[in-house]
Amino acid sequence: MLGLRPDVAEADGRLAGPHTALDAIVGVEAVLGRVLDARLREAHRTDQVYARDMAGRVAAFARRGGKRLRTAFAWCGWRAAGGRGDPTALLRTGAALELVQACALIHDDVMDASPLRRGGPAVHVDLARLHRTAGMTGPPEPFATSAAVLAGDLALVWADDLLTETALDSPHGPRLHREWRAMREEMVAGQYRDIHAQATGSSGVDEALAIAMLKSALYTVARPLALGASLAGADPHTLQALRWAGRCVGLAFQLRDDLLGAFGDPAVTGKPAGDDLSSRKLTYLLAVALRLADAGGDEEATAVLGPGGASRPDHTVERMRALLERTGARDMVESKIVELVADGLRHFETTGAVPAVRREFAAVVERASGVTARRTEEVA
Protein backbone atom coordinates (compact mmCIF):
# COMPACT_ATOMS: atom_id res chain seq x y z
CA MET A 1 0.00 0.00 0.00
CA LEU A 2 2.90 2.36 -0.68
CA GLY A 3 3.56 2.49 3.04
CA LEU A 4 0.22 4.20 3.79
CA ARG A 5 -2.06 3.29 6.67
CA PRO A 6 -4.25 0.23 6.09
CA ASP A 7 -7.41 2.35 6.11
CA VAL A 8 -6.27 4.22 3.00
CA ALA A 9 -7.57 1.35 0.83
CA GLU A 10 -11.02 1.60 -0.73
CA ALA A 11 -13.43 -1.32 -0.94
CA ASP A 12 -12.67 -1.98 -4.61
CA GLY A 13 -8.95 -2.40 -3.88
CA ARG A 14 -7.81 0.93 -5.34
CA LEU A 15 -5.70 3.27 -3.26
CA ALA A 16 -7.73 5.95 -1.57
CA GLY A 17 -6.29 9.39 -1.08
CA PRO A 18 -3.74 9.84 1.72
CA HIS A 19 -5.49 11.11 4.84
CA THR A 20 -2.66 13.42 5.88
CA ALA A 21 0.35 15.15 4.42
CA LEU A 22 2.50 12.63 6.33
CA ASP A 23 0.70 9.80 4.53
CA ALA A 24 1.53 11.50 1.24
CA ILE A 25 5.21 11.86 2.19
CA VAL A 26 5.42 8.17 3.17
CA GLY A 27 3.74 7.22 -0.09
CA VAL A 28 6.08 9.40 -2.14
CA GLU A 29 9.12 7.88 -0.45
CA ALA A 30 7.96 4.46 -1.63
CA VAL A 31 7.23 5.68 -5.16
CA LEU A 32 10.53 7.54 -5.33
CA GLY A 33 12.38 4.45 -4.19
CA ARG A 34 10.83 2.34 -6.94
CA VAL A 35 11.53 4.99 -9.58
CA LEU A 36 15.16 5.27 -8.52
CA ASP A 37 15.60 1.51 -8.48
CA ALA A 38 14.26 1.32 -12.04
CA ARG A 39 16.47 4.17 -13.25
CA LEU A 40 19.54 2.57 -11.70
CA ARG A 41 18.81 -0.68 -13.51
CA GLU A 42 18.56 1.26 -16.76
CA ALA A 43 21.79 3.09 -15.95
CA HIS A 44 23.66 -0.20 -15.48
CA ARG A 45 22.41 -1.38 -18.86
CA THR A 46 23.68 1.87 -20.40
CA ASP A 47 27.18 1.99 -18.88
CA GLN A 48 28.69 0.58 -15.70
CA VAL A 49 31.03 3.51 -14.93
CA TYR A 50 28.27 6.07 -15.46
CA ALA A 51 25.90 4.00 -13.32
CA ARG A 52 28.40 3.69 -10.47
CA ASP A 53 29.78 7.23 -10.40
CA MET A 54 26.88 9.33 -11.62
CA ALA A 55 23.47 7.65 -11.45
CA GLY A 56 24.31 6.01 -8.14
CA ARG A 57 25.24 9.33 -6.56
CA VAL A 58 22.11 11.07 -7.83
CA ALA A 59 19.90 8.27 -6.51
CA ALA A 60 21.68 8.28 -3.13
CA PHE A 61 21.33 12.05 -2.85
CA ALA A 62 17.62 11.94 -3.72
CA ARG A 63 17.06 9.31 -1.03
CA ARG A 64 19.05 11.30 1.56
CA GLY A 65 16.20 12.99 3.25
CA GLY A 66 15.00 16.54 3.15
CA LYS A 67 11.67 17.73 4.53
CA ARG A 68 9.70 16.71 1.41
CA LEU A 69 7.81 19.99 1.75
CA ARG A 70 6.92 20.16 -1.94
CA THR A 71 5.20 16.79 -1.70
CA ALA A 72 3.26 17.93 1.36
CA PHE A 73 2.13 21.14 -0.35
CA ALA A 74 1.12 19.22 -3.50
CA TRP A 75 -1.08 17.03 -1.28
CA CYS A 76 -2.62 20.14 0.33
CA GLY A 77 -3.45 21.57 -3.10
CA TRP A 78 -4.94 18.26 -4.23
CA ARG A 79 -7.16 17.96 -1.17
CA ALA A 80 -8.18 21.64 -1.19
CA ALA A 81 -9.42 21.12 -4.75
CA GLY A 82 -11.44 18.08 -3.72
CA GLY A 83 -8.89 15.40 -4.60
CA ARG A 84 -9.67 11.93 -3.29
CA GLY A 85 -9.53 8.35 -4.45
CA ASP A 86 -6.53 6.79 -6.20
CA PRO A 87 -3.47 8.93 -5.29
CA THR A 88 -1.10 7.42 -7.86
CA ALA A 89 -0.77 10.55 -10.01
CA LEU A 90 -0.32 12.75 -6.92
CA LEU A 91 2.41 10.52 -5.48
CA ARG A 92 4.24 10.32 -8.80
CA THR A 93 4.07 14.11 -9.11
CA GLY A 94 5.47 14.39 -5.58
CA ALA A 95 8.33 12.08 -6.52
CA ALA A 96 9.05 14.22 -9.60
CA LEU A 97 9.16 17.31 -7.37
CA GLU A 98 11.69 15.62 -5.10
CA LEU A 99 13.88 14.81 -8.11
CA VAL A 100 13.77 18.36 -9.44
CA GLN A 101 14.66 19.51 -5.93
CA ALA A 102 17.71 17.24 -6.07
CA CYS A 103 18.70 18.91 -9.35
CA ALA A 104 18.29 22.37 -7.85
CA LEU A 105 20.34 21.58 -4.74
CA ILE A 106 23.18 19.91 -6.63
CA HIS A 107 23.50 22.85 -9.02
CA ASP A 108 23.04 25.43 -6.25
CA ASP A 109 25.86 23.91 -4.23
CA VAL A 110 28.16 24.09 -7.25
CA MET A 111 27.33 27.75 -7.87
CA ASP A 112 27.72 28.67 -4.18
CA ALA A 113 30.72 26.38 -3.57
CA SER A 114 28.88 24.95 -0.56
CA PRO A 115 30.66 22.02 1.09
CA LEU A 116 27.67 20.48 2.91
CA ARG A 117 24.14 19.46 2.05
CA ARG A 118 21.62 17.37 4.00
CA GLY A 119 24.18 16.64 6.67
CA GLY A 120 26.79 15.22 4.30
CA PRO A 121 29.24 16.31 1.61
CA ALA A 122 27.73 18.21 -1.29
CA VAL A 123 27.76 16.19 -4.51
CA HIS A 124 30.62 18.16 -6.07
CA VAL A 125 32.68 17.69 -2.90
CA ASP A 126 32.05 13.95 -3.00
CA LEU A 127 33.05 13.84 -6.68
CA ALA A 128 36.30 15.67 -5.92
CA ARG A 129 37.02 13.03 -3.30
CA LEU A 130 36.33 10.34 -5.92
CA HIS A 131 38.87 12.00 -8.21
CA ARG A 132 41.55 11.99 -5.51
CA THR A 133 40.80 8.47 -4.27
CA ALA A 134 40.87 7.03 -7.79
CA GLY A 135 44.18 8.75 -8.55
CA MET A 136 42.82 10.53 -11.61
CA THR A 137 45.04 13.01 -13.45
CA GLY A 138 44.69 16.77 -13.25
CA PRO A 139 43.16 18.89 -10.49
CA PRO A 140 40.00 17.41 -8.93
CA GLU A 141 37.91 20.60 -8.83
CA PRO A 142 37.22 21.05 -12.57
CA PHE A 143 36.31 17.36 -12.85
CA ALA A 144 34.04 17.57 -9.82
CA THR A 145 32.30 20.72 -11.01
CA SER A 146 31.65 19.32 -14.49
CA ALA A 147 30.45 15.99 -13.13
CA ALA A 148 28.15 17.66 -10.57
CA VAL A 149 26.53 19.74 -13.31
CA LEU A 150 25.83 16.50 -15.16
CA ALA A 151 24.49 14.93 -11.96
CA GLY A 152 22.03 17.78 -11.53
CA ASP A 153 21.04 17.47 -15.18
CA LEU A 154 20.40 13.77 -14.70
CA ALA A 155 18.12 14.42 -11.73
CA LEU A 156 16.15 16.86 -13.87
CA VAL A 157 15.90 14.34 -16.71
CA TRP A 158 14.49 11.75 -14.33
CA ALA A 159 12.06 14.31 -12.91
CA ASP A 160 10.85 15.38 -16.36
CA ASP A 161 10.42 11.79 -17.50
CA LEU A 162 8.33 10.94 -14.45
CA LEU A 163 6.16 14.05 -14.69
CA THR A 164 5.60 13.54 -18.42
CA GLU A 165 4.55 9.92 -17.92
CA THR A 166 2.18 11.04 -15.15
CA ALA A 167 0.67 13.80 -17.29
CA LEU A 168 0.10 11.42 -20.20
CA ASP A 169 -1.85 9.08 -17.92
CA SER A 170 -3.97 11.84 -16.34
CA PRO A 171 -7.16 13.44 -17.70
CA HIS A 172 -5.72 16.70 -16.38
CA GLY A 173 -2.31 16.16 -17.98
CA PRO A 174 -2.13 19.38 -20.04
CA ARG A 175 -2.83 21.53 -16.96
CA LEU A 176 -0.31 19.57 -14.93
CA HIS A 177 2.37 20.00 -17.58
CA ARG A 178 1.72 23.75 -17.93
CA GLU A 179 2.31 24.23 -14.20
CA TRP A 180 5.46 22.12 -14.35
CA ARG A 181 6.85 23.97 -17.37
CA ALA A 182 6.28 27.35 -15.71
CA MET A 183 7.91 26.14 -12.50
CA ARG A 184 11.09 25.06 -14.26
CA GLU A 185 11.48 28.38 -16.05
CA GLU A 186 10.86 30.35 -12.86
CA MET A 187 13.57 28.32 -11.12
CA VAL A 188 16.13 29.21 -13.79
CA ALA A 189 15.06 32.86 -13.80
CA GLY A 190 15.36 33.07 -10.02
CA GLN A 191 18.75 31.42 -9.96
CA TYR A 192 20.04 33.80 -12.63
CA ARG A 193 18.65 36.84 -10.82
CA ASP A 194 20.45 35.57 -7.71
CA ILE A 195 23.89 35.36 -9.32
CA HIS A 196 23.25 38.56 -11.29
CA ALA A 197 22.49 40.47 -8.09
CA GLN A 198 25.63 39.09 -6.49
CA ALA A 199 27.76 40.11 -9.48
CA THR A 200 26.33 43.64 -9.59
CA GLY A 201 26.45 44.18 -5.83
CA SER A 202 22.74 44.92 -5.68
CA SER A 203 21.22 45.83 -2.33
CA GLY A 204 17.61 46.63 -3.19
CA VAL A 205 14.71 45.28 -1.14
CA ASP A 206 12.50 44.93 -4.20
CA GLU A 207 15.15 42.93 -6.03
CA ALA A 208 15.68 40.69 -3.01
CA LEU A 209 11.95 39.97 -2.90
CA ALA A 210 11.84 39.28 -6.65
CA ILE A 211 14.67 36.76 -6.30
CA ALA A 212 13.03 35.11 -3.29
CA MET A 213 9.73 34.82 -5.16
CA LEU A 214 11.19 33.35 -8.35
CA LYS A 215 13.89 31.18 -6.86
CA SER A 216 12.03 29.75 -3.90
CA ALA A 217 8.47 30.88 -3.11
CA LEU A 218 6.86 29.79 -6.37
CA TYR A 219 8.89 26.62 -6.71
CA THR A 220 8.58 25.48 -3.09
CA VAL A 221 4.95 26.26 -2.31
CA ALA A 222 2.88 27.98 -5.00
CA ARG A 223 3.61 25.60 -7.89
CA PRO A 224 3.38 22.40 -5.81
CA LEU A 225 -0.02 23.58 -4.52
CA ALA A 226 -1.11 24.27 -8.10
CA LEU A 227 0.27 20.96 -9.37
CA GLY A 228 -1.74 19.06 -6.78
CA ALA A 229 -4.85 21.12 -7.45
CA SER A 230 -4.49 20.61 -11.21
CA LEU A 231 -4.61 16.83 -10.71
CA ALA A 232 -7.95 17.30 -8.94
CA GLY A 233 -9.35 19.49 -11.74
CA ALA A 234 -9.43 22.64 -9.58
CA ASP A 235 -11.81 25.44 -10.55
CA PRO A 236 -10.33 28.91 -11.27
CA HIS A 237 -11.31 30.34 -7.86
CA THR A 238 -9.63 27.54 -5.93
CA LEU A 239 -6.52 27.69 -8.09
CA GLN A 240 -6.19 31.46 -7.65
CA ALA A 241 -6.63 31.21 -3.88
CA LEU A 242 -3.92 28.54 -3.76
CA ARG A 243 -1.58 30.69 -5.85
CA TRP A 244 -1.92 33.58 -3.41
CA ALA A 245 -1.53 31.29 -0.42
CA GLY A 246 1.54 29.75 -2.01
CA ARG A 247 3.17 33.09 -2.74
CA CYS A 248 2.73 34.25 0.86
CA VAL A 249 3.84 31.02 2.49
CA GLY A 250 6.64 30.53 -0.04
CA LEU A 251 8.09 33.93 0.80
CA ALA A 252 7.80 33.13 4.50
CA PHE A 253 9.72 29.91 3.86
CA GLN A 254 12.51 31.75 2.03
CA LEU A 255 12.80 34.46 4.66
CA ARG A 256 13.08 31.76 7.33
CA ASP A 257 15.76 30.09 5.21
CA ASP A 258 17.61 33.42 5.03
CA LEU A 259 17.58 33.67 8.83
CA LEU A 260 18.79 30.08 9.19
CA GLY A 261 21.50 30.77 6.63
CA ALA A 262 22.79 33.61 8.79
CA PHE A 263 22.08 32.36 12.31
CA GLY A 264 21.24 28.65 12.05
CA ASP A 265 23.07 25.69 13.55
CA PRO A 266 24.67 23.51 10.82
CA ALA A 267 24.04 20.43 12.98
CA VAL A 268 20.32 21.15 12.65
CA THR A 269 20.10 22.61 9.14
CA GLY A 270 22.55 20.20 7.51
CA LYS A 271 24.33 23.02 5.68
CA PRO A 272 26.88 25.68 6.64
CA ALA A 273 25.84 28.84 8.45
CA GLY A 274 27.19 32.15 7.23
CA ASP A 275 27.81 31.20 3.60
CA ASP A 276 25.31 33.79 2.35
CA LEU A 277 27.01 36.43 4.48
CA SER A 278 30.58 35.54 3.53
CA SER A 279 29.70 35.73 -0.17
CA ARG A 280 27.39 38.71 0.42
CA LYS A 281 24.45 37.09 -1.32
CA LEU A 282 21.48 39.44 -1.69
CA THR A 283 18.73 38.33 0.66
CA TYR A 284 15.72 40.19 2.00
CA LEU A 285 17.42 40.11 5.43
CA LEU A 286 20.52 41.87 4.10
CA ALA A 287 18.53 44.35 2.01
CA VAL A 288 16.36 45.33 4.99
CA ALA A 289 19.42 45.75 7.21
CA LEU A 290 21.03 48.09 4.69
CA ARG A 291 17.84 50.12 4.32
CA LEU A 292 17.55 50.46 8.11
CA ALA A 293 21.23 51.33 8.42
CA ASP A 294 20.88 54.03 5.77
CA ALA A 295 17.75 55.46 7.42
CA GLY A 296 19.44 55.49 10.83
CA GLY A 297 22.75 56.86 9.65
CA ASP A 298 24.60 53.73 10.80
CA GLU A 299 27.80 54.13 8.77
CA GLU A 300 29.46 51.04 10.21
CA ALA A 301 26.57 48.80 9.20
CA THR A 302 26.45 50.35 5.74
CA ALA A 303 30.17 49.79 5.24
CA VAL A 304 30.25 46.22 6.55
CA LEU A 305 26.99 44.99 4.99
CA GLY A 306 27.30 46.88 1.72
CA PRO A 307 28.85 45.71 -1.55
CA GLY A 308 32.44 44.62 -1.16
CA GLY A 309 35.07 42.59 -2.87
CA ALA A 310 36.13 39.06 -2.03
CA SER A 311 34.59 36.62 0.40
CA ARG A 312 34.52 37.92 3.96
CA PRO A 313 36.63 36.25 6.68
CA ASP A 314 34.94 34.61 9.65
CA HIS A 315 35.40 37.57 11.98
CA THR A 316 33.66 39.85 9.46
CA VAL A 317 30.78 37.38 9.19
CA GLU A 318 30.38 37.59 12.97
CA ARG A 319 30.27 41.38 12.71
CA MET A 320 27.66 41.09 9.98
CA ARG A 321 25.50 38.88 12.20
CA ALA A 322 25.76 41.39 15.04
CA LEU A 323 24.81 44.25 12.72
CA LEU A 324 21.82 42.36 11.32
CA GLU A 325 20.53 42.29 14.90
CA ARG A 326 21.62 45.82 15.85
CA THR A 327 19.86 47.41 12.89
CA GLY A 328 16.65 45.58 13.79
CA ALA A 329 16.63 43.63 10.53
CA ARG A 330 16.42 40.24 12.18
CA ASP A 331 13.37 41.23 14.22
CA MET A 332 11.75 42.89 11.22
CA VAL A 333 12.16 39.76 9.10
CA GLU A 334 10.71 37.63 11.89
CA SER A 335 7.66 39.90 11.97
CA LYS A 336 7.37 39.76 8.18
CA ILE A 337 7.36 35.95 8.28
CA VAL A 338 4.47 35.93 10.77
CA GLU A 339 2.54 38.41 8.61
CA LEU A 340 3.08 36.36 5.46
CA VAL A 341 2.01 33.13 7.16
CA ALA A 342 -1.18 34.77 8.42
CA ASP A 343 -1.99 36.00 4.91
CA GLY A 344 -1.24 32.58 3.44
CA LEU A 345 -3.54 30.79 5.87
CA ARG A 346 -6.35 33.25 5.10
CA HIS A 347 -5.98 32.73 1.36
CA PHE A 348 -6.00 28.96 1.80
CA GLU A 349 -9.19 29.14 3.85
CA THR A 350 -10.99 30.81 0.91
CA THR A 351 -10.57 27.62 -1.13
CA GLY A 352 -13.38 26.12 0.92
CA ALA A 353 -11.14 23.24 2.02
CA VAL A 354 -12.59 21.22 4.89
CA PRO A 355 -11.25 21.96 8.39
CA ALA A 356 -9.08 18.83 8.50
CA VAL A 357 -7.26 19.90 5.32
CA ARG A 358 -6.86 23.45 6.62
CA ARG A 359 -5.28 22.07 9.79
CA GLU A 360 -2.93 19.92 7.73
CA PHE A 361 -1.94 22.93 5.64
CA ALA A 362 -1.25 24.95 8.79
CA ALA A 363 0.94 22.12 10.11
CA VAL A 364 2.97 21.97 6.88
CA VAL A 365 3.29 25.76 6.90
CA GLU A 366 4.64 25.58 10.44
CA ARG A 367 7.31 23.10 9.31
CA ALA A 368 8.27 25.42 6.46
CA SER A 369 8.22 28.73 8.30
CA GLY A 370 8.58 27.97 12.00
CA VAL A 371 5.37 29.93 12.67
CA THR A 372 2.30 28.36 14.29
CA ALA A 373 -1.25 29.28 13.37
CA ARG A 374 -1.79 30.34 17.00
CA ARG A 375 1.08 32.80 16.74
CA THR A 376 -0.50 34.46 13.70
CA GLU A 377 -3.76 34.80 15.64
CA GLU A 378 -1.96 36.38 18.58
CA VAL A 379 -0.28 38.92 16.29
CA ALA A 380 -3.56 39.69 14.53
Task: Say if CB 154 and CB 99 are below 8 A apart.
Answer: no
163 CB-contact burial (10 Å; exposed 0-12 / middle 13-18 / buried 19+): buried
The Cα-based distances of 140 to 114, 129, 144 in angstroms read 16, 8, 6
**Three-state DSSP class for residue 15:** strand
The Cα-based distances of 174 to 16, 79, 151, 178, 240 in angstroms read 24, 20, 28, 6, 18
- Can you give the pLDDT at residue 114? 84
Report the distance separating Cα 23 and Cα 3, nearest Å: 8
Could you tell me which of 272, 2, 311 has the C-alpha nearest to residue 120?
272
For the ranges 135-144, 272-281, 357-366, the lowest mean pLDDT is seen at 272-281
End-to-end Cα distance, the chain? 42
What does the pLDDT average to over 272-286?
81
In the chain, the domains with their CATH numbers are 6-379 (1.10.600.10)
Task: Say if CB 31 and CB 94 are below 8 A apart.
Answer: yes
Tens-digit pLDDT profile for residues 161-207:
999 999 999 999 999 999 999 999 999 999 999 999 988 888 899 99
Report the distance separating Cα 206 and Cα 138, nearest Å: 44
